[in-house]
Structure 1
Amino acid sequence: MDSHTDVKHLLKAGATLTDAALERLLPAPDTLPHSIHRAMRHSTFAGGKRLRPILALEAARMVSGGTLTPALETAAAELGAALEMIHTYSLIHDDLPALDNDDLRRGQPTCHVVFGEATAILAGDALQTLAFQTIANLHAPAATVVSILREVSAAVATGVGSVGDLHTSLPPGMIGGQVMDIESEGVKPTAELVEAIHRAKTGALITVSVVAGGLLGLGDQPSTTHDTIARLRTFGQKAGLAFQIVDDVLDMTQDSAQLGKTAGKDTATDKATWPAVFGIPQSIHDAEELIADAFAALARFAETAAPLKALANFLTERKN
């Protein structure tokens, strides 16, 4: 079985687990009020690779020695579903006229096009709220749940609050990155600005998917937690930045049908992107180097890290 077949299997199996969890957790379309629940489901089930949930699932599996008990697999699937809810909420809001003003996402009309702006805003709000409720209800040790909540909330936020021993000067999370992205439009991009935006807007949620999955898989094994989580954090940061660099390249080299979203938006809106600073060939090279660094962080896990490494390779080899 070659690496591409392995990745296809990982993606299919992980997406199946995630979608089943989302189906359990999201309100049914006939649940009142109908409009918001249908809007939530429209965007959540519009497609997507479920990369963040699968990263969480495979991180949990890796730190557990390569296998998960049925109970832990169910918890990992529900954690992944929560991360996908957060990701979907961010896409709904990103597509709004006040932000990216896009009418196509995952090959489908965006939420506000179908349901109107007000319902789309509230659907995003509801998905984020349900995500944290889902994490709070995970069947895991209480200390683990609290740690995951701390990590995820920081990854979504703007750089305030505390995580563990870090009480000040947290790096901006996803929302902070979105703000930087908006404020950088029309400004000549620098390497420092682009990296800061990418690490926050996209990289923070990818990183926390890996870290949260690791925390769940470790459970109450404090003697191994610190080094393992540090390695997972490095892996997530490197792979997350590589993912966004490739996304920037694809926006410039693929058409809308291939991407499943409007191509060329970054160039048209003068977004701060990696290719705008470094060019396409250097961007591809940088992504490959970042994946190599991500692999190095997982060296001590040997063969149990193979699924996470395969996913990291997929991030840089994808075409949409």
Structure 2
Amino acid sequence: MLDGSLRDWRERADAALARALPSPDHEPRLLHMAMRHAVLLGGKRMRPLLVHASGALFEVAPSVLDGPATAVELIHAYSLVHDDLPAMDDDELRRGQPTVHVAFDEATAILAGDALQSLAFAVLADTDSDDRTRVALLRTLAEAAGVAGMCGGQALDIDATGSGARLDLAALERVHALKTGALIRAAVRMGALCGNADPASLEALDRYARALGLAFQVRDDILDVESDSQTLGKTVGKDAAQDKSTFPALIGLDASRARLDELAQAMNQALEPFGERAHALRALGRMAIERDR
């Protein structure tokens, strides 16, 4: 039953994204093609799945969750397009495909990222919810994407990269709580907001999402050391080459795995108030920790 739910939500997310993106048959065709390249060529869809799994706790209809699920994935896709640019990580491979600036050109990639970001908020503004909920959804996503979230975390990461000064563990966790965790927390929170979740439920879900966001990044750092480009779908070894602060570099692989175990326990504890209803969120937590790409 659980596998079926995740599969159905994944299919809904892919279909909703395809509907939201502009047709490559219309001008400006190159920009539209680049946007679709950034979004539709694979991806785990972790953030849309979290929206649906969180909303399911409160029996929200999947059709109501399609808008927030689409919006958060569009923001995620835009962030990857910009993250791969020569001015950022300068990467040539994403999801096993050429990155957008390689497949098209750098200017088109910048515009594609900008367009995906604005499209996300247009989609969210049309969400099938009451006005109060819609404003809360818009605020949640905007804060997670901005200086208090993803962009702020990226700036801190850039400041620390190649500086020769290794971040301590607390500083590294703060970077990733913003850069990776903020959008994951937003995904979980938006599903709950659509279900008019009470403050205690929102707090429990925030604790789950904070642990999940950090676990996702710890696993990413481990995979950058242990995996290969074909399996991972992106260039491996970039963190070490760019002298980035990572969990394995700072505390070692064994301690990084131990940190994953601690975060798994934190996720399960946060979900205890929801009992069996949180089975999908638990499964997504396990997927984040056990994934090989």
Give 2:157's match in structure 1, choosing from 181, 185, 194.
181
Partner of 2:128: 139
Partner of 2:137: 148
Paired AA for residue 125 in structure 1? D
Q: Deviations over 1:131-163 (max 9, x none)?
A: 01111110101111111111111111112xxxx
Corresponding pairs, count:
291
Q: Would you say 1:206 and 2:206 are equivalent positions?
A: no
Q: What is the TM-score with the length of structure 1 in the denominator? A: 0.89
Q: Deviations over 1:259-317 (max 9, x none)?
A: 00000111110111111111111111111211211111111111110110011011101
Paired AA for residue 208 in structure 1? A
Q: What is the TM-score with the length of structure 2 in the denominator? A: 0.97
Aligned to 1:298, what secondary structure does the other structure show? Answer: helix
* Aligned pairs (5 A) from 1:14-33: 14-33=9-28
8 Å Cα contact 2:18/2:40 also seen in 1:
no
Identity among equivalent positions (%) equals: 44
* Cα separation, 1, equivalents of 2:72 and 2:20: 12
Give 1:34's match in structure 2, choosing from 19, 29, 32.
29
* Cα separation, 2, equivalents of 1:120 and 1:81: 20
8 Å Cα contact 2:67/2:126 also seen in 1:
no
Give 1:194's match in structure 2, choosing from 166, 169, 172.
172
Partner of 2:286: 313
Partner of 2:84: 95
Partner of 2:268: 295
Partner of 2:44: 49
* Cα separation, 2, equivalents of 1:194 and 1:119: 32
CA RMSD of aligned residues (A): 1.2
Aligned to 2:198, what secondary structure does the other structure show? Answer: helix
8 Å Cα contact 1:18/1:53 also seen in 2:
yes
* Aligned pairs (5 A) from 1:133-282: 133-159=122-148, 173-186=149-162, 187-218=165-196, 224-282=197-255
* Cα separation, 1, equivalents of 2:273 and 2:291: 27
Deviation at 1:63, TM superposition (A): 2.3
Deviation at 1:12, TM superposition (A): 2.5
Deviation at 1:10, TM superposition (A): 4.4
* Cα separation, 1, equivalents of 2:264 and 2:281: 11
* Cα separation, 2, equivalents of 1:317 and 1:11: 16
8 Å Cα contact 1:14/1:50 also seen in 2:
no
* Runs of 4+ more than 3 Å apart: none
* Cα separation, 2, equivalents of 1:138 and 1:54: 17
8 Å Cα contact 1:56/1:209 also seen in 2:
yes
* Cα separation, 1, equivalents of 2:287 and 2:147: 29
* Cα separation, 1, equivalents of 2:247 and 2:42: 26
Deviation at 1:318, TM superposition (A): 0.7
Deviation at 1:176, TM superposition (A): 0.4
* Cα separation, 2, equivalents of 1:263 and 1:246: 13
Q: Deviations over 1:79-104 (max 9, x none)?
A: 11111100000000000000000000
* Unpaired stretches in structure 2, ≥5 consecutive residues: none
Moved more, 25-34 or 260-269: 25-34
Deviation at 1:74, TM superposition (A): 1.4
Deviation at 1:77, TM superposition (A): 1.8
* Cα separation, 2, equivalents of 1:156 and 1:101: 21
